[in-house]
């Protein structure tokens, strides 16, 4: 993603009253901390069938995946620091992004976040991980 893409969140796609933006935000918040265990972002991207990208919005790492032709989801992660907890976000792009309903994007995004946790579990065998890693 070296070229500048226009990235949207669900509220920008569906409208400011999007119930799905809150649903996704809550689901990603619950799944952010375990991603501190990701050591190899390239391997994570391969696991998801996506690619590592650098959108240049202050991320520690980001992975993009085409979920439908012309529709991309961008998973963006920021590690925790002394001031803020880990943060996981999803943004969307593509020339057909407005053809997909918000509930479909939310479902796919949460499923993709669950795949992130499966990767963490597989890549850290024998390590005691946060409980949410074992619930997906």
CA 95 to chain CA centroid, Å, is: 20
What pLDDT is stored for residue 1 in this prediction? 42
What pLDDT is stored for residue 24 in this prediction? 95
Residue 4 forms part of a structural domain: no
Residue 28 forms part of a structural domain: yes
Structure tokens at 59: 């991320």
Q: Into how many domains does the chain fold?
A: 1
**Residue 131, SS3 per DSSP:** helix
- Phi and psi dihedrals of 8, rounded to 5? -125, 150
What pLDDT is stored for residue 79 in this prediction? 97
Q: Which helix (H) or strand (E) holds 77?
A: strand 71-78
What pLDDT is stored for residue 4 in this prediction? 65
Residue 121 forms part of a structural domain: yes
Helices and strands (H and E) in the chain: how many: 4, 4
Distance CA 104, CA 14 (A): 11
Q: What is the mean pLDDT of each run of 10 residues along the chain (136 residues)?
A: 72 83 94 98 98 94 96 97 96 92 94 98 96 94
Distance CA 24, CA 94 (A): 19
**Residue 79, SS3 per DSSP:** coil
Q: Locate all alpha helices (DSSP H) within 79-130, ordered by sequence.
A: 102-123
Residue 44 forms part of a structural domain: yes
Which residues constitute the domain of residue 62?
10-134
Residue 3 forms part of a structural domain: no
Residue 2 forms part of a structural domain: no
Residue 1 forms part of a structural domain: no
Select from 12, 125, 1 the least CA-distant residue to 61: 1
pTM (global) more than 0.85: yes
């Amino acid at each position: 993603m070296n070229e500048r893409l226009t990235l949207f969140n669900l509220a920008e796609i569906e409208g400011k009253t999007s119930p799905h933006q809150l649903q996704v935000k809550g689901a990603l918040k619950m799944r952010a901390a375990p991603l501190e265990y990701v050591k190899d972002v390239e391997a994570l991207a391969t696991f998801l069938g996506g690619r590592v990208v650098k959108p240049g919005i202050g991320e520690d790492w980001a992975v993009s995946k085409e979920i439908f032709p012309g529709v991309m989801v961008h998973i963006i992660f920021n590690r925790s620091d002394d001031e803020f907890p880990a943060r996981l976000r999803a943004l969307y792009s593509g020339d057909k992004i407005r053809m997909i309903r918000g509930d479909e994007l939310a479902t796919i995004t949460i499923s993709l976040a669950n795949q992130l946790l499966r990767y963490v579990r597989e890549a850290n065998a024998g390590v005691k991980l946060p409980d949410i890693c074992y619930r997906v």
